[in-house]
Amino acid sequence: MLRTLAIPSPITFEAAGLIALAEFPAVALRTALVGGACFLDVLVLVPGMHTQQCTGEINRGEFPTTGAMTSGYVFRVENPATVSYLQSIGQTGHLVTARVSQNPSQNTDISLPKRVVQSLFIAGIPATILYFLCPISTISVFVVLCVIGDWWGIGALGMFISARLINVVVIKRRSQQGWKGATETGNGDLLILLSQDRWVRLQGTINDLKAVTAGQWLRDLSAPENFSVTFATMMVYTSAILAFNASTVGSVLIACLLLYSVALLTLCNSLTRCLQMYDCVVRKKGKPEKYKRRLDMAEKLVLESKREDWAVGMGLIHPKVGSTDRPVTV
């Protein structure tokens, strides 16, 4: 009976599935914040789901200059997910401090149930609840479509899910941890110069810092992966066309699901205050420190680190006359 229901309005809803083709950045941002993808993401259906492989461009082409205040080396942060997170916490004219630590799942000092719970809610309880509402909504809409017998709607939803599955598998393959340099002991302290005069100080053990800044996060697509992603993208477009044949109720349900899910995921991303990357977590620490000049900030950190080679290499200060110390740029 619900299948034959019509909404008394001159507006038609057959094209509601086209909403899926809108390129919202929610999926790409979620992928960057969690450092990859999980299979539960398959049930998170939002507009722009077909653009997940573009997550590697989320840093908007910025690879900021970085100085290691403990060793004097000057290099660039090559991880686009880390850069994107630092961009989100940075403030113009302020020095923001963030710390890298191990994910609670790696803490063997606490019981397994506590590790699971802490890892599950590491992004915060509100953000986690909002995320889980997305797959719950998808399952609910799927059940309703089955009840009313809207097979075109079920087919469109099934193709959306299949496309998501392909993208999730490819992301999981691309984000496997690779080269991170040699293992070292001790703590590190990095100063990262972002665009728009945003300065971030990143602290943690040297190995944890390497995990989130060095090497490659998402490797390039292989030929089979490229074909699979193209096929998944075509499935999303085909699903939008199939949605034209769904009932009015089915079309409205699919449209509402897509809009509701993207609202939830966007809110979830905005409430997520940490970055997860290779069993490490990056969190903002303390309040930002405001400086009238960048030179004031540099001079303070030079005094604190008791060396100036990194600051010279980053162009923050001039070398002292007669100084033999030279920065090492890598």
Q: What is the pLDDT of residues 233-271, one digit of tens each?
A: 999 999 888 888 888 888 899 999 999 999 999 999 999
Q: Is the pLDDT of residue 328 over 60?
A: no
* 25 domain residue, yes or no: yes
**pTM, rounded to two decimals:** 0.88
The pLDDT of 62-86, averaged and rounded, is 94
CB neighbours of 77 closer than 8 A, spacing ≥ 6?
A: 63, 64, 66, 83, 86, 192, 213
Domain hosting residue 42, numbered range: 12-317
Q: Is residue 5 part of a domain?
A: no
List phi, psi (to 5°) of 140: -65, -45
User: How far separated are the first and last CA of the chain, in Å rounded?
Assistant: 69
In the predicted structure, residue 112 carries a pLDDT above the cut 90:
no
Q: For position 302, what pLDDT does the model report?
A: 94
Per-residue exposure over 140-172, b if at least 16 CB sit within 10 Å of its own CB, e if not: ebbebbeebebbbbbbbbbbbbbbbebbbbbbe
**Per-residue pLDDT for 89 more than 80?**
yes
Whole-number Cα distances in Å, 248 to 34, 68, 153, 257? 37, 60, 10, 14
The whole-number pLDDT of residue 14 equals 61
Residue matched to tokens 């997910």: 81
Q: Which amino acid is at 323?
A: S
Does residue 327 lie in a domain region? no
Whole-angstrom distance, CA of residue 24 vs CA of residue 76 = 29
In a domain, 115, yes or no: yes
Asked if residue 325 belongs to a domain, the reply is no
- For residue 163, tell me if it sits in a domain: yes
In a domain, 36, yes or no: yes
Q: Measuring CA to CA, how many Å separate 44 from each of 147, 165, 217, 296?
A: 21, 10, 23, 47
3-class SS of residue 98 = strand
Per-residue pLDDT tens over the stretch 280-324: 999 999 999 999 999 999 999 999 999 999 999 999 988 876 555
CA atoms of 59 and 78, how far apart (whole Å) = 10
The count of domains in the chain is 1
